[in-house]
Structure 1
């Protein structure tokens, strides 16, 4: 007697993952096998419209031809020499990125969390060497509900109990104040404050956009008090919100940019700390490093990403298509949607909790071929690749309406 296995290939892969992959994520039951543009194909041949873009790491679409070509060309030359030697790609990458940011210098790293950790180290060193804060006494002001990563130092100033619980002892030196509250921030700054570290738009918190006067006033406080303003643009930067940087919406230039995700073009992890020489110049050989940071492959990809941004086309697409996305989402308010926030092709959508959790709504959308991700209860994040079309946005919204209708019936 023959026993037939009726499980799909995706189900078998997921079962294998549950046995061998550490359970630090709770992914949707989708197993990607191929992708192009705004679409992902699973191991069983089913296609999904990607409305998450790997948390903004795939801003330019899956396998953008220019980025892939640059990576292939570099693979044929040299991929890694470490910073023990120079490479012919590093200086051009750092120069191009510095010019994009209007700064002098770049500290190349790999992941977003590494960029944040590096920015914290630089701010503390700057505080000691330049501002004259006693060694070990510097503090950094941050915002409640922030998300800057999950390393030990970063979770020390996180409000996320899931990220914190059980991982102490925690790193001191941080003061958290409500996001958007300028008066609370000003009160937290003292003579030993070396930096204010903020997401211009909070991502993991649900795409929280601050009041229009917030960042300009924070900028003035930092300037007047001799404090570095560090903008974590790892998710919000590189055209996601319709501008090169989210800070641009308010005409604010931070002292330090923290960049990542889309800087690697969806191909390799690339991150960076970008600032002027009077800030990054505090680092000397041996004080900070990374074997893979600024490697030739990453630099070649990064150069291509910066070239794509120089034209302004992706910024314009994000602004124009973002207006359409937000218009469609706002039209669902009162029909299962409580609130919509965001800028450009980045939206946080609060769904009526009575209809289900964010995870349940995300799963229902995945069943209909649309990939989004939940955060904080019943909030969904929409952040499609910037190559998405109006028709594809409309198709995704039609699927969203189907889920809302079914949930209310």
Structure 2
């Protein structure tokens, strides 16, 4: 086993630390040593020697550290090279997620850290990571669908959710450096970064949550639906709001997904969803997680929308919603028509001008409606297909006015000294 020893000067002051071991670990092995300025670095190196079987850790050059003798080997410690390899060798993620991480790396992380040495505590430190996050908070990004002119006009500050996603990617890369064999870094500075809150108290463009969620009231959803020109769009919106399903799940629906149509317990079985392939194409696969594969109880209005859309006349596995040529219905295609309906609803006074909902906000509004009327987070979690209830809890809280009204009634009853009435739940 390697050992760490302090080295002292004539005044008995510790000036450095030395790691000592015998090559190969045997008594006859040649004594090897390496010097460090601090005990922590020496201890990290000692562990690396032990893990290497009492050999010099792979890639270590005596007196220089993890620096290879030639430029080609040195290149592998450049952040952009190391980070790309981390993403390429990740397991348990789909091709499109890998592609998205590479895109985020190239656009948002490499411009700052790309040429840094992954091993350097000076290049990549608490201060440099914090300055990078501050820069992201000041960055204006395009909001909504890309204009045909290609010129971004609707610019808003980057959302807290996006910043957290980018920070998480950087942290994951640095964790790989910390846990490398042997370790390339002693610690991950991302762990001490204070990130922007998801709820910004309405002080910025991204109030409430991740992508500036908008919670629509039932009458506001009805206003958007009435402003749509295509009946199929109206029916899709009805199903989206009535089920809280994800876009990829709704557009993958087929007649066979509707169960118990003529019973008192009609249901939708969510067993497939559109997935984006690494080559940017789409294919039908399983939903994003185990809990996403679920069966939902649905209302009569949802059943009626599915029947009108073609449950009775289409093949059992035929798509209920498609593009104009029968292909996968792209989110961007529907989104363009959605935003036209939103503008029209505002002009008619059916939707507040300060609201800027996206089709995905129908899912948020579905959850909001359930929670505001007393349904538990656990029920909402299972209905939405969230893998963790923490996701549900972090995302939805105050929501619709009815929730505040009920809370105020409870508080008002308690303030004069009265005991609030308890609602029977059994």
| TM-score with structure 2 setting the length | 0.24
| TM-score with structure 1 setting the length | 0.24
- Higher-RCO chain (CA-CA 8 Å, sequence separation at least 6): 1
